[in-house]
Amino acid sequence: MRNIKNLFILSFIIISTLPCFAVDKIQVNNIRVELKTNPVGLDVLKPRFSWKITSKMPNTNQLAYRIMVAESQKDILSEKNLIWDTQIIKDSSSLFVQYNGTKLLSRKTYFWKIKVYTNQGESNWNYGHWSMAFLNSSDWKASWIGSDKISSQDTLIGNTRLSARYLRKEFHSPKGIKSARLYISGLGLYECFINGKKVGNGIFTPAQTEFAKRVYYNVYDVKKLLDEKVNTIGVILGNGRYFPMRTDSAIKTQFPRLLLQLEIIGMDGKTTTVISDESWKITTNGPIRANNEYDGEKYNANLEMKGWDCNRFNDSSWEKAQLVSSPSEKITCQNTPSIRTMERITPISIKELKSGCYIVDMGQNMVGWANVTLYGKKDIPVTMRFSETLNSDGSPYIKNLRTAKATDIYIPSKDGTFQWEPKFTYHGFRFIEITGAEQAPLINDIVGCVNYDEMATLSTFECSDSLLNQLFHNAQWGIKGNYRSFPTDCPQRDERQGWLGDRATGCFGEAYMFDQTLLYEKWLDDMQDSQSTTGAISDVIPTYWEVFSDNITWSSAYMMSAYMLYELRGDRQGIIKHYVSMKKWLYYMKDKYLQDYILTKDTYGDWCMPPENLSIIHSKDPARITDGKVMSTTFFYHILNMMQEFAVIASHPEDVAAYKDLAAKIKDAYNTKYFQSDKGIYDNNTVTANLISLAQGLVPKGYEQKVFDNIVTRIEKDFDSHVSVGVVGIQFLMRTLTDYGRPDLAYTIATQKTFPSWGYMIANGASTIWELWNGNTADPSMNSGNHVMLLGDLMIWYHENLIGIKSCGEGDPFKHFTINPYFAPQLTYLNGSYESPYGKIVSNWEKTGSVLNWRVSVPANTSALIYMPTSSTQHISMNGKPISKYSEIKVVKNGNNKVVLNLPSGNYKFTIN
């Protein structure tokens, strides 16, 4: 277990040929500290330090820390010539301690050490280092190069296709190499090789962006790949999102291009620099004949160029690279890890559908590609077509792909076995149709490469209800499958866009399941980059689709994502960095759409409200349809309250009064227009109208229970305790039911197996989350089998209410937290854990008759309030002894069928009779 991580939280930037993070460990007085850093490629002037502590001693708390930074290993060891020394800081926080030393310089390597002081003793010094990337545009000596040449098979209009670009350069290295750093960006995507070996372990690099505003480069330590004589760099450029996958005009075409700078420092201190320029050679006649994220990749092995990325290759037929324009004024180091093959799975079956046509079942709807070992015949294409489901005759169901071909083609250069996987495409699929192979593939011939942004999985869940387990599994696979350097809506059809509305609240649930901190920090940059000059924010970010509809329930994800990073990670930077942009959007919406203090603009309504008919997508029943002004006004009110907090965090307290005054006027106007106090309902009494008013604090004091009762009545009577809301309402459904005393109803909704429910998806074979509640019967054009928008607050509910782990909301997140599970009568056991910013929290319980056995782990440097389902401490024992025997356990509350205990860090085993 890595216990101290995110040291320099912004340093998860580069995938290196070295281990991605240098890890140092220390254990003194049973205290262990681990620090995880990236050794190269930091371009943040004030990096931030975070760490975790684990200890075998219970009740371990940090009292102080000290951090030192120097410019050499010798100086950090001797504590001389320090450029930063915090001295001993008396503080128990271990999150986001910001560097405040001498100004950091481009390319410079810095050495640090840290010591932690606790009530159980102090650690030894823990050491590490990092290196800076380019901090100034003048650091770049390289030029953008490429080729605008097209071949007869390329297509620039409509369903586009373009051959990959291959570039190479031979160069000499000094005899003695002290260090070698490669700085590279290739658009749309690149893979780089030095002397025939791939640089780094990332795929789909660099991260995709709003290209006109920002382009990322990556940094690699490549010393081990270089020879001390002649070397060759080879780069393949794929299309990514830079070369458009669909366009109605060739004028919009942007051809792939490369920017590369290799800096080698010899033992004599001299620097040899290799740059991209007109001395490079390029060809478009390589084996990758087409690459498109929608349509797949075509590879012709007859065009392979053996040794093209090694020395002494004959490139006389290649052309001279062209100097091309820079895609953006801002070329910046990538702060988020690249996409990688994070998992590999094997099929559960392969069946011959008809002669020479094989259907591979991966057993899981996944996102990535297939690595295949097949037997082919020269010049006979082997075709692999991907789909999420099958038709009744066993063939691939492709109607829901729209125009996406989702097909890979490999053309063998000789008879025999070949192994292959694509480079610049991906698919959302469970099934693969293989044709053209000369022999039937075997199970071990197919490997499903599961590709998504590199990040840690943070939580686990297992209980006695198999449906709840499968639902957690489906959510986890759906979420990670839609991480593509920005969160997307789906991975299979001709869309795959960063729709904001899917993540407005969903990002909080994702944050419990994955450490997507850096991904969302990057997405916030995309949002600001995409903002119009007027202040508008597109519903899709980056704006590969420009959808400036001013739909507030979608664009509010800008604020929600920043708040998620603050509330669950303790990261204020997103709020501080984007506050001005957020304020600009808020006043743009206010000035354009606020009439009599009602926000009048809405585009999508309560999207995907469960319809009354299994064959339709959108409900036609007025009793189910929520007025758009109700949704937009409640969300605007919620954001105004959020912006009051943001203003203080971002050091703009002068803005608070205006936000507060406007929010009060909106609340009064909203309740005057829509609230029927005699009935306790809003507008036409939809579950969503009542729910979003209650959850976002608009219900007048004293009427909360009355409104909640109407929510419950409609759910139970009109919807038979099933899902009764669309994408907007579902952001609050499960938690509000639980918070107001009906966790049993939330549990019933979560475990329903008939339409509309998540269980209905599972009952019909889903292994991810559908786009529609009736995704097996509705219009194929909107029938994705892998979406996450219908999760709403379900995964938040899983962690905060079902497992029961929730931050107390004071100070750093999860420095103090509660463990208050819903002990559902239907469950006999539940095991759950969450790797919080301070360490791993565990809650495992099991019921046997009237006895509850409960194991709890509280990380070092934290404390927990644990809610016992009993009326008296006399019913509670630990390790066979009454809890009164343990002085470290404090009783906070005793009565009303709840005993609340305050626990310091440690591992506990309780028995409750």
User: pLDDT category, 152, cuts 50, 70, 90?
Assistant: confident
Among residues 430, 453, 476, which one ends one of the domains?
Answer: 453
Contact 408, 296 (CB under 8 A): yes
- Which residues pair with residue 121 across a beta bridge? 118
Q: Show the domain range for 886.
A: 805-912
pLDDT tens per residue across span 774-814: 999 998 888 999 999 999 999 999 999 999 999 998 889 99
pLDDT at 22: 30
Average of per-residue pLDDT values in the chain? 94
User: pLDDT category, 16, cuts 50, 70, 90?
Assistant: very low
pLDDT at 43: 87
C-alpha to C-alpha distance for 475 and 889, rounded to whole angstroms: 36
Contact 154, 161 (CB under 8 A): yes
Residue 474 corresponds to which tokens in the numbers above? 């489906």
SS3 call for 632: helix
C-alpha to C-alpha distance for 143 and 540, rounded to whole angstroms: 31
Q: Give yes or no: residues 226 and 359 share one domain.
A: no
What CATH number does the domain containing 17 carry?
A: 2.60.40.10
Identity of the residue numbered 682:
Y
C-alpha to C-alpha distance for 891 and 167, rounded to whole angstroms: 69
- The verdict on residue 92 lying in a domain is yes
Do the strands 851-868 and 839-848 form a parallel or antiparallel pair, or are they unpaired? antiparallel
- The verdict on residue 4 lying in a domain is no
- The verdict on residue 186 lying in a domain is yes
pLDDT tens per residue across span 751-765: 999 999 999 999 999
Indicate if the pLDDT at residue 19 is higher than 70.
no
Count of C-beta atoms within a 10 Å radius of residue 91: 12
Contact 475, 530 (CB under 8 A): no
C-alpha to C-alpha distance for 811 and 807, rounded to whole angstroms: 10
Instruction: Find, among 203, 272, 277, 274, the residue nearest to 236 by Cα.
Output: 203
- The verdict on residue 642 lying in a domain is yes
Indicate if the pLDDT at residue 561 is higher than 90.
yes
No. of helices (H) and no. of strands (E), the chain:
15, 51
CA dihedral 542, 547, 553, 559 (to 10 degrees): 30
Count of C-beta atoms within a 10 Å radius of residue 485: 27
Do the strands 215-221 and 331-333 form a parallel or antiparallel pair, or are they unpaired? parallel
pLDDT tens per residue across span 700-724: 999 999 999 999 999 999 999 999 9
What CATH number does the domain containing 329 carry?
A: 2.60.120.260
pLDDT at 168: 98
Q: Give yes or no: residues 88 and 216 share one domain.
A: no
% residues pLDDT > 90 (the chain): 90
Q: Give yes or no: residues 174 and 195 share one domain.
A: yes
pLDDT at 437: 98
Is there a cis peptide before residue 188, judged by omega within 30 degrees of 0? yes
pLDDT tens per residue across span 94-115: 999 999 999 999 999 999 999 9
Instruction: Find, among 244, 245, 267, the residue nearest to 254 by Cα.
Output: 244
Contact 856, 820 (CB under 8 A): no
- The verdict on residue 432 lying in a domain is yes
C-alpha to C-alpha distance for 286 and 236, rounded to whole angstroms: 9
Instruction: Find, among 603, 619, 605, 627, the residue nearest to 774 by Cα.
Output: 619
C-alpha to C-alpha distance for 407 and 292, rounded to whole angstroms: 10
SS3 call for 322: strand
Q: Give yes or no: residues 720 and 778 share one domain.
A: yes
pLDDT at 189: 98
Q: Give yes or no: residues 681 and 789 share one domain.
A: yes
Mean pLDDT of all residues in 488-498: 98
What CATH number does the domain containing 723 carry?
A: 1.50.10.10
C-alpha to C-alpha distance for 617 and 577, rounded to whole angstroms: 39
Mean pLDDT of all residues in 140-147: 98
C-alpha to C-alpha distance for 795 and 264, rounded to whole angstroms: 48
pLDDT at 155: 94
Q: Give yes or no: residues 181 and 277 share one domain.
A: yes
Contact 263, 183 (CB under 8 A): yes
Q: Give yes or no: residues 765 and 816 share one domain.
A: no
Contact 503, 560 (CB under 8 A): yes
Residue 841 corresponds to which tokens in the numbers above? 């929290």
pLDDT tens per residue across span 632-685: 999 999 999 999 999 999 999 999 999 999 999 999 999 999 999 999 999 999
Among residues 336, 369, 390, which one ends one of the domains?
Answer: 336
pLDDT at 810: 81
Count of C-beta atoms within a 10 Å radius of residue 187: 28
What CATH number does the domain containing 844 carry?
A: 2.60.420.10
- Give the distance from CA 822 to its chain's centroid: 28
Q: Give yes or no: residues 295 and 354 share one domain.
A: no
Burial class from Cβ neighbours inside 10 Å (0-12, 13-18, 19+) for residue 320 reads: exposed
SS3 call for 789: helix
Q: Give yes or no: residues 366 and 262 share one domain.
A: no
- The verdict on residue 788 lying in a domain is yes
Burial class from Cβ neighbours inside 10 Å (0-12, 13-18, 19+) for residue 552 reads: buried
pLDDT at 780: 87
Q: How many domains are contained in the chain?
A: 5
Phi, psi of 99 (to 5 degrees): -60, 135
**Helices within 696-805 (DSSP H only):** 704-713, 733-739, 743-750, 758-763, 794-797
pLDDT tens per residue across span 21-52: 233 343 334 444 444 444 567 888 898 889 99
Q: Give yes or no: residues 431 and 463 share one domain.
A: no
pLDDT at 40: 62
Q: Give yes or no: residues 497 and 439 share one domain.
A: no
pLDDT tens per residue across span 839-879: 999 999 999 999 999 999 999 999 999 999 999 999 999 99
603-625: buried (b, 16+ CB within 10 Å) or exposed (e) per residue? bbbbbbbbbeeeeebbbeeeebb
C-alpha to C-alpha distance for 687 and 691, rounded to whole angstroms: 6
Beta-carbon-side half-sphere exposure of residue 582 (alpha carbons within 13 Å): 29
- The verdict on residue 69 lying in a domain is yes
Q: Give yes or no: residues 557 and 664 share one domain.
A: yes
**174: which residues sit within 8 A by CB, 6+ positions away?**
228, 264, 266, 267, 268, 270, 272
User: pLDDT category, 126, cuts 50, 70, 90?
Assistant: confident
pLDDT at 92: 97
Phi, psi of 601 (to 5 degrees): -95, 125
Contact 790, 837 (CB under 8 A): no
CA dihedral 791, 793, 796, 800 (to 10 degrees): -140
- The verdict on residue 176 lying in a domain is yes
pLDDT at 24: 38
Instruction: Please give the biggest Cα pair distance in the chain.
Output: 87
C-alpha to C-alpha distance for 588 and 534, rounded to whole angstroms: 7
Cα end-to-end distance, the chain, whole Å: 34
Contact 298, 409 (CB under 8 A): yes
SS3 call for 658: helix
Phi, psi of 745 (to 5 degrees): -70, -40
> Which residue in this structure is represented by tokens 């803005």?
655
Beta-carbon-side half-sphere exposure of residue 701 (alpha carbons within 13 Å): 0
Indicate if the pLDDT at residue 14 is higher than 90.
no
Structure letter (DSSP) for residue 514: B
Among residues 288, 320, 336, which one ends one of the domains?
Answer: 336
**60: which residues sit within 8 A by CB, 6+ positions away?**
31, 53, 118, 119, 120, 860, 861, 905
Indicate if the pLDDT at residue 8 is higher than 50.
no
C-alpha to C-alpha distance for 261 and 257, rounded to whole angstroms: 14
